Structure 1
């Protein structure tokens, strides 16, 4: 099922989309770019580049959405010349016509957006030399994969919109998907979400968030 969305410009000039069914934006209205950069790139990807310097990096995204996190990851992979194997899942993907209206390539001076959204589902695609993408359409609860990941970007809609995605069973599955030392990052720092992560065996770290967000979370699967 394609998402029913409308686009809006956030405070830093980058687009987000508002899901009309859930009534929630995909990114912070205070700045889509600055949120994704802090939560997923700085705390997730760049930390993993340092922690796992000798291997291709495997990244899983819960909620492909606008493709912003994937685009920023592809950009950093090129800058650092590190190979990233990227997988994402989305139960309500954006229509390609909607995705073409996003301003990310113009905003960042990149040429990734159409490749990310127009790549076929359930098939690994080489977006460029350093970035391959596999998109899965469906619910994460039903995802069946033997792949394991260094980083998980947990970017589901807020618990008020999709409470089922923040339950202990989902974080137990995320913990199983992580390699030893792997990290899960998310914008949501609610106390019960932290408890659910800990119950799944993850070590929870609180970090300073982006603008208008005091805390964000990085959860680590200990070696």
Structure 2
């Protein structure tokens, strides 16, 4: 998969895939979108004491970075599990500027997120453990993973990668998540919402990040 580094509206960079005509984050602001959708509407809304975060699509590692930084500042022990079929290269990682925009400590964490081995649970900070799994989500079995308290659903758009948004995947995620868990995604398409609801989730549309009118958050009931 060929990718290009591009600038986004808040000064942060992201990756663009020419063959799909799709970018990894919003062109209106990669860092802004990540903080708004996944951190503020997902991680920080979870009531789990020691949350397990499951990310569908590790991508640039931006969502993992902001979650790691906040888990450390909140002293909230967090296990972060992420699945990715096409990891980015070290050269691509070095050209992304998230650490420069946040802090020197953030850059160190970001580098470590990418350099730790795949398929081995690794401590990134005193409060953040990472398990990167190189796998295809459409064929992956979640049976051996702990139930997720928060799910970041950050695949490419439904029109670009429809197989990632199949209803069966949402049903699988529902079955392997904890009671009262939440799933957040930048997509607010009506069909995606209906698939989540048919899978058992209670859904709500929330105001979206810059450039998007709405996003979705789904909750798994406790009973």
Range into which the TM-score falls when normalised by the shorter chain? over 0.9
Deviation of 1:23 (Å): 2.1
After TM superposition, the score normalised by the length of structure 1 is: 0.94
- Matched with 1:41 is 39
After TM superposition, the score normalised by the length of structure 2 is: 0.94
- Matched with 1:134 is 131
Is residue 135 of structure 2 the alignment partner of residue 144 of structure 1? no
Counterpart of 1:27 in 2: which secondary structure? coil
Deviation of 1:113 (Å): 1.3
Distance 1:128 1:207 in 2: 31
Distance 1:120 1:23 in 2: 30
Write the mapping of 1:147-186 to structure 2, written as runs, cut at 5 A: 147-186=146-185
The counterpart of 2:15, out of the listed 14, 17, 25, is 17
The counterpart of 2:115, out of the listed 118, 129, 133, is 118
- Matched with 1:56 is 50
The counterpart of 1:74, out of the listed 68, 72, 75, is 68
- Matched with 2:191 is 192
The counterpart of 1:86, out of the listed 80, 89, 92, is 80
Counterpart of 2:53 in 1: which secondary structure? strand
Deviation of 1:22 (Å): 2.0
Counterpart of 2:183 in 1: which secondary structure? strand
Aligned residues: 217
| Structure 1 stretches lacking a partner, 5+ long | none
Counterpart of 2:41 in 1: which secondary structure? helix
What does the per-residue CA deviation read over 1:9-66, in whole Å, with 9 as the maximum and x for residues that have no partner?
Answer: 1000111111233221000000011111111001100001xx22xx311000000000
Deviation of 1:78 (Å): 1.1
Distance 2:140 2:115 in 1: 21
